[in-house]
């Protein structure tokens, strides 16, 4: 590991020792002081995964790592859906292939390893579902107590059952994710509880490896990377990954970062449309994509910076467009993602209409979570079962082919 320093994105104060938040309560960025100059040759012999990039991750010793085998997810070239949208080079990075079925595992392997380094005995998060599933699994792996605070009635069944089976203590609050996060931030003032929401700088370090992997898998930097946005940590982390590749002279360019939000939960898109440098939180966010049902994203400042400084863009998509894109990706490519992930695919049509991308560009969409996380949304919205009374084969064939 290279030595690193933490710097507050609000007041600029720096720290050489580990902490989660600045004394002003601002979020902290990790920057490396002396990364080795032979990064590429060190990485080449290791398989593609989060820990291939150990030298640019903030864990002090490999023996501290808590891992379930995260990262190394497939980057699919999607010719059929590309053709549907009129795009020549469309790729989907399927983060549903992670151990608990979402990109959160990239952050949790680093974040929980740091919790262990700090000697924490309990970890805590607020979540729309995936963060809690992931934290619960990594806490179990590390032998830590885990508390997750969830918005009551708004967490998809697959995610909830993961948190239950991994043994997390589940607290359901009658409120939104934004309110749950506020509660967790207050609870984490008790230093016995180590917070692992995306205010934790070490978690984002794990998530930035998505950028490193895309570069390694494509052998080049794509023109555009499209990311679904909720609390806005992931788009910020991926942008940081690309910026570091450039900073350490592994690449020369960075992609344009595009954020996609659901229409009913789109504070970042609203700010972008108005050309603003701050967001107006949305009081009662609502969308079928419960993972990104967030009105007051904590990483808004980083996300707007990623979008503006990469010459990127932000678009919102309706629930119907999200469900349509989910179906398209499954039926044209055999990739089943949850609704929030499908937002990145749904955004493509708008990006073409608004002439933000053109058909010859290399586009990567991040599919953030597995479709089995939220089976209800599929069965509720698409009923394609044919019920047959008869058990006679020729009757069944007659019914099917009529």
Q: Does residue number 295 form part of the binding site for ligand F0G (CB under 6 A)?
A: no
Can you tell me which residue has the tokens 């499908």?
A: 342
CA end-to-end span of the chain, whole Å?
Answer: 65
- Our finding on whether 233 is near ligand F0G (CB under 6 A) is yes
228 lines the binding site for ligand F0G (CB under 6 A):
yes
In contact, 283 and 295? CB cutoff 8 Å: yes
User: What number of other Cβ atoms are within 10 A of residue 56's Cβ?
Assistant: 22
Among 241, 255, 369, 371, binds ligand F0G (CB under 6 A): 369
* Total of chain residues touching ligand F0G, rule CB under 6 A: 22
Contact 368, 398 (CB under 8 A): no
Could you give the string, one character per residue 168-207, with x where binding to ligand F0G holds by CB under 6 A and - elsewhere? ------------------------------x---------
Rounded to whole angstroms, how far apart are CA atoms 144 and 192?
12
Pairs from 73-79 (Cβ < 8 Å, separation ≥ 24): 73/97, 73/98, 73/213, 75/213, 75/214, 75/217, 75/218, 75/364, 76/333, 76/335, 78/329, 78/332, 78/333, 78/335
Give me the least distance between CB of 104 and ligand F0G, in Å please.
Answer: 6
Binding residue (CB under 6 A) for ligand F0G from 66, 110, 229, 271: 229
**Residue 206 in tokens:** 């794990």
Each residue 113-142 as x (binds ligand F0G by CB under 6 A) or -, in order, gives: --------------xxxxx-----------
Minimum Å distance from CB 274 to ligand F0G? Answer: 20
| 156 part of the interface to ligand F0G, by CB under 6 A | no
Decide: is 109 part of the binding site for ligand F0G (CB under 6 A): no
Q: Which is nearer to ligand F0G, 58 or 129 (CB)?
A: 129
| Interaction between residue 368 and ligand F0G (CB under 6 A) | yes
The number of beta carbons lying within 10 Å of the beta carbon of residue 144 is 18
Query: Around Cβ 140, how many Cβ atoms within 10 Å?
Result: 17
Q: Which of 30, 66, 291, 364 is the binder for ligand F0G (CB under 6 A)?
A: 291
Any bridge partners for residue 138, and if so which? none
Angle between helices 104-117 and 130-142 (to 10 degrees): 40
- Which CB sits closer to ligand F0G, 230 or 312? 230
Shortest distance, position 44 Cβ to ligand F0G, whole Å:
29
Among 341, 362, 363, 377, binds ligand F0G (CB under 6 A): 341
Report the C-alpha gap between 97 and 290 in whole angstroms.
Answer: 20
In terms of DSSP bridges, do strands 169-173 and 145-151 run parallel, antiparallel, or are they unpaired?
A: parallel
Which CB, 222 or 339, lies closer to ligand F0G?
339
Binding mask 75-104 for ligand F0G (x = CB under 6 A): ---------------------------x-x
Q: Footprint of ligand F0G on this chain (CB under 6 A)? A: 102, 104, 127-131, 198, 228-234, 291-292, 338, 340-341, 368-369
């Amino acid at each position: 590991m290279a030595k690193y320093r933490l710097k507050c994105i609000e007041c600029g104060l720096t720290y050489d020792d580990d902490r989660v938040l600045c004394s002003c309560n601002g979020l902290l960025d990790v920057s490396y002081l002396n990364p080795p100059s032979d990064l590429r040759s060190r990485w080449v012999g290791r398989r593609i995964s989060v820990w291939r990039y150990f030298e640019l991750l903030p864990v002090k010793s490999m023996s501290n790592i808590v891992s379930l085998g995260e990262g190394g997810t497939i980057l699919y070239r999607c010719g059929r859906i590309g053709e549907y949208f009129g795009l020549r080079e469309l790729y989907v990075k399927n983060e549903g292939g992670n151990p608990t079925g979402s990109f959160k595992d990239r952050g949790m392997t680093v974040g929980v390893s740091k919790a262990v380094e700090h000697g924490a005995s309990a970890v805590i998060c607020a979540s729309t579902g995936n963060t809690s599933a992931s934290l619960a699994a990594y806490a179990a792996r590390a032998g830590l107590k885990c508390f997750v605070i969830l918005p009551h009635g708004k967490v998809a069944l697959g995610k909830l059952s993961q948190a239950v089976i991994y043994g997390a203590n589940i607290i359901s609050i009658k409120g939104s994710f934004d309110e749950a996060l506020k509660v967790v931030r207050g609870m984490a003032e008790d230093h016995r509880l180590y917070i692992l929401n995306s205010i934790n700088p070490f978690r984002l370090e794990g998530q930035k490896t998505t950028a490193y992997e895309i570069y390694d898998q494509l052998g080049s930097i794509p023109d555009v990377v499209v990311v679904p946005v909720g609390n806005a940590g992931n788009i910020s982390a991926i942008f940081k990954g690309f910026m570091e590749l450039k900073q350490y002279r592994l690449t020369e360019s960075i992609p344009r970062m595009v954020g996609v939000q659901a229409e009913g939960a789109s504070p970042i898109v609203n700010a972008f449309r108005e050309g603003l440098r701050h967001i107006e939180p949305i009081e009662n966010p609502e969308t079928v994509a419960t993972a990104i049902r967030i009105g007051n994203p904590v990483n808004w400042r980083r996300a707007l910076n990623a979008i503006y400084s990469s010459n990127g863009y932000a678009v919102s998509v309706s629930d119907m467009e999200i469900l349509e894109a989910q179906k398209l990706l499954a039926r044209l490519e055999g990739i089943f993602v949850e609704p929030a992930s499908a937002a990145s695919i749904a955004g493509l049509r708008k990006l073409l209409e608004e002439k933000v991308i053109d058909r010859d560009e290399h586009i990567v969409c991040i599919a953030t979570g597995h479709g089995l996380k939220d089976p209800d949304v599929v069965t509720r919205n698409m009923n394609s079962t044919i019920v047959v009374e008869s058990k006679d084969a020729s009757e069944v064939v007659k019914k099917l082919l009529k």
